[in-house]
Amino acid sequence: MSTETSITETRILLRHASDPNLRKIDTYKSYGGYATQEKAYADMELDSIVHELEESGLRGRGGAGFPMGKKVSFLPHGDQNKYLCCNADESEPGAFKDRELMQRNPHQLIEGIAISSLAGGIGHAFIFIRGEYDKQGDILDEAVAEAYAAGYLGKNILGSGHDLELVVHRGAGAYICGEETALLDALEGKRGNPRLKPPFPAVQGLYGGPTLINNVETLSNVPHVVANGAEWFKSFGTEQSPGTKVVSVSGCVRRPGNYEVELGVKTRDIIYGLAGGPLEGHEIKAFYPGGSSSPVLTPEGLDLPYSFEAMAEAGSMLGSGSIIVADDTVSIPHMALRTARFYHHESCGKCTPCREGTNWTVKMLERVVRGEATPMDLDIISSVQKNIMGHCLCVLGDSMAMPVSAMVNKFRPEFEEVIAGAALASLTGMPDDTGRESQFEGGGHDGEEPGDGGISPKVIERQRLAGRPVADGGEESTSGRATQDPTGRAREVSEH
Ligand SMILES: Cc1cc2nc3c(=O)[nH]c(=O)nc-3n(C[C@H](O)[C@H](O)[C@H](O)COP(=O)(O)O)c2cc1C
Ligand code: SF4
């Protein structure tokens, strides 16, 4: 298979990201930051901002890809209290781009929030940040304080008569709080459980008021769209997926990290050209194109354009834009089990198909890898997934069912092989000689004590042997939690 690719990043959101002082307001302003907010608050018609956002076709970068401008236009006009919630919960395995955006350029996000709030007639905004993002929370706190001091937040912003209060709220570490309505409950101080929809948040959201909820990357795009116009924005990407995307690439690649590319570039170019492809002598076996909730694709998918529409046509999704690569050393049944365990652990338990379905799926996949299942059990696993999909209150249940289904359907012979191999090993008492199993059990489950960041010493040693930097929670690290990697190949993200 050819690995020849040539591609460069198209950096809009990460343009000045290599400047370590970018998080300071003076440096941000020296690159033209806050000029768009000044213009918008001084003399732009609110309708024209909404119009520009709608025309740009900017789609939500948090998972569903819903047009951002449309969401703003759904907010009712009038004097009632309206809210903006920035979703910075980013807890899906494979996703770590919001972390970098907040860590490197917090003012870009604050400016996006201020302009979006102006457009929506919103007076109170919140950034709901994942609790484990402690450092990024501190950076945001400092940036928000600077923005208040400089008059970009608070009362009578820049003498415009508009007020905006912005609060950084730290979550308590539950993946489900990234679901927009669970996020609202958590913000209100309740247990973070999804709400029934409708009513949608734009009509009845936080404290019962109309609420705009958008992802960090979506809001970070807003100053650029408003500064340069919809036509400029649409000159990047494809017709249905305009703009750039910060893609988090992890798993079995040489240079894991965040790469900002125009939507619609070839997926192969991102994985091989930017992230370096798999290690010498290895081939890609499968990849999740949009985080651990997206149905895995086989190598044929490498030639697809990386866009919302192409991924949907291929039966998968772009999601939050996180590519997780599994090479030929990865056991797909174990990867399915690791994925299912994550969703089972994170299910809030409110609805039966998800609560029971994730539990049953984990139990059945455990039987598969122990060699206690039969090929007929694979049909039962598939049928359990069918009964989850479309039958849950929120998308968490489907988020497990979609990738697990895809893995069982596309890699059935490997599941059958694992069942037979594990059964034979248990009969003969011979250990599994693939060395794969322990990687998927995570630190502590395979008899090893977890090391730094919960990664087992064996995995850390493997990373060292492979010549890769080891996850150490380093000062400038921009990776997601390495222990979440569903391939079991936890790796630190390279700076680039
Ligand atoms: C279980 C679950 C977890 C989610 N986690 C996140 C998250 O961490 N960040 C995020 O922006 N969206 C997340 N979403 C999607 C949000 O519900 C919502 O669609 C998104 O925040 C809207 O912003 P956008 O339109 O800018 O993408 C999650 C959805 C589900 C079902
Ligand atoms: S799908 Fe799962 S996480 Fe979502 S409401 Fe139902 S039980 Fe909770």
What are the sequence ranges of the domains in the chain? 32-234, 244-327, 332-416
Ligand 1 centroid to Cα of residue 221, in Å, is 16
Q: Is the pLDDT of residue 464 over 90?
A: no
How far is the C-alpha of 396 from the C-alpha of 399, rounded, in Å? 5
What number is the average pLDDT over the span 184-206? 96
6-13: average pLDDT: 93
| pLDDT of 273 strictly over 90 | yes
User: For residue 426, what are its two tokens?
Assistant: 């248990």
Closest CA to 466 of 254, 155, 259: 254
Residues 6+ positions from 465 with CB-CB distance below 8 Å: none
Please state the rounded mean pLDDT for residues 277-302: 97
Q: Which ligand sits nearest to residue 96's alpha carbon?
A: 1
At residue 476, does pLDDT exceed 80?
no
- Residue 284, phi then psi, degrees to nearest 5: -75, 135
pLDDT of residue 440 exceeding 80, the answer is: no
Of all residues in the chain, what percent carry a pLDDT higher than 70? 86
What is the average pLDDT score of the chain? Answer: 89
Topology (CATH level 3) of domain 332-416 = de novo design (two linked rop proteins) (1.20.1440)
Q: Which residue, by CA, sits nearest to atom 12 of ligand 1?
A: 62
The answer to whether domain 32-234 has CATH 3.40.50.11540 is yes
What confidence score (pLDDT) does residue 376 get?
92
Nearest ligand 1 atom to alpha carbon 216: 11
Q: 191 CA to middle of ligand 2, Å? A: 13
Lowest mean pLDDT among 129-143, 168-182, 383-397, 449-463: 449-463
User: What is the pLDDT, as a whole number, of residue 486?
Assistant: 80
Residues with CB under 6 A from ligand 1: 60-64, 66, 87, 89-91, 175-176, 178-180, 213-215, 218, 394-396
Instruction: Please give the biggest Cα pair distance in the chain.
Output: 79
Q: pLDDT, tens digit, for every residue of 313-358?
A: 999 999 999 999 999 999 999 999 999 999 999 999 999 999 999 9
Could you tell me what percent of the chain has a pLDDT over 90? Answer: 81
* Three-state DSSP state, 324: strand
At residue 4, the pLDDT reads: 54
Output the pTM of the full model. Answer: 0.89
User: Which ligand 1 atom sits closest to the C-alpha of 218?
Assistant: 26
244-327 and 332-416: identical CATH topology: no
**Range ranked top by mean pLDDT from 77-91, 453-467, 471-485:** 77-91
Which residues face 215 on adjacent strands?
A: 87
Cα 92 to ligand 1 centroid, rounded to whole Å: 10
Per the document, the length of the chain is: 496
What does the pLDDT read at residue 6? Answer: 74
Question: Average pLDDT in the 434-463 region?
Answer: 38
Shortest-distance atom of ligand 2 to CA 354: 2
The pLDDT-based confidence of 191 (bands split at 50, 70, 90) is very high
Q: What's domain 244-327's architecture?
A: Roll (3.10)
- Residue 101 CA to ligand 2 center (angstroms) comes to 29
Output the CA 273–ligand 2 centroid distance in Å.
38
194 CA closest ligand 2 atom index: 5
Question: What does the pLDDT average to over 142-153?
Answer: 98
C-alpha 353 to ligand 2 mean position (Å): 8
Residue-level pLDDT at 471: 36
